């Protein structure tokens, strides 16, 4: 499935591949690699509230700020919360980035091998084979409670809104 004109890169429209992940639906299980090159799935985070952020690359200024902000702010909310950043970066690059920047609360996953997450959540950019910037918040039952696909790839997400929704889900648990 292709979706056009949902996201732009420097003002130019790109095509997203995969079915759009929608509010209220159960999230599809996906597989990606962790920094140890081990396969991880959504079910690896069973019984956790999940903030999943897809980003084009950790080595860009907006992604750098985004992961640091969620590492600092969201991590304090609950021990029942998993913060997951997914990109097409190789696991080695993700590991280096996290070590260099002292990212400890966020789990980074690489979708580079199969683009499984990108296709199942509808954020794979056809023209670039990168992931669009998006935030998905899932409750403990893996129901999607929040979706934010950022319209311009180089723009940051709405941190305040995502954190507000996340706090409400944590409080309602």
Residue 63 annotated as catalytic: yes
Token couple for 37: 């090159």
Query: Taking Cα atoms as reference points, which of 77, 84, 68 lies closest to residue 134?
Result: 84
Q: Which residues pair with 134 in a beta bridge?
A: 54, 149
Residue 85 phi/psi, 5° resolution? -110, 130
Residue tagged active-site, from 63, 131, 144, 150: 63
Residue appearing with tokens 């980035």: 97
State the catalytic residues: 63
């Amino acid at each position: 499935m292709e979706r056009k004109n949902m996201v732009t890169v420097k003002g130019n429209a790109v095509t997203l591949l995969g079915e759009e992940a929608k509010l209220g639906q159960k999230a599809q299980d996906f597989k990606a690699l962790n920094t140890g090159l081990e396969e991880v799935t959504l079910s690896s985070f069973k019984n956790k509230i999940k903030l999943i952020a897809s980003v084009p690359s950790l080595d860009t200024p907006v992604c750098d700020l985004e992961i640091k902000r969620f590492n600092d702010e969201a991590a304090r909310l609950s021990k029942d919360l998993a913060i997951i950043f997914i990109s097409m970066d190789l696991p080695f690059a993700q590991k280096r980035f996290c070590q260099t920047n002292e990212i400890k609360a966020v789990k980074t996953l690489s979708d580079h091998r199969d683009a499984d997450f990108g296709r199942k959540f509808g954020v794979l950019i056809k023209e670039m084979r990168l992931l669009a910037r998006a935030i998905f918040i899932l409750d403990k039952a893996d129901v999607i409670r929040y979706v934010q696909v950022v319209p311009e790839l180089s723009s940051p997400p709405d941190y305040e809104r995502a954190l507000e929704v996340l706090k409400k889900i944590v409080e309602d648990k």
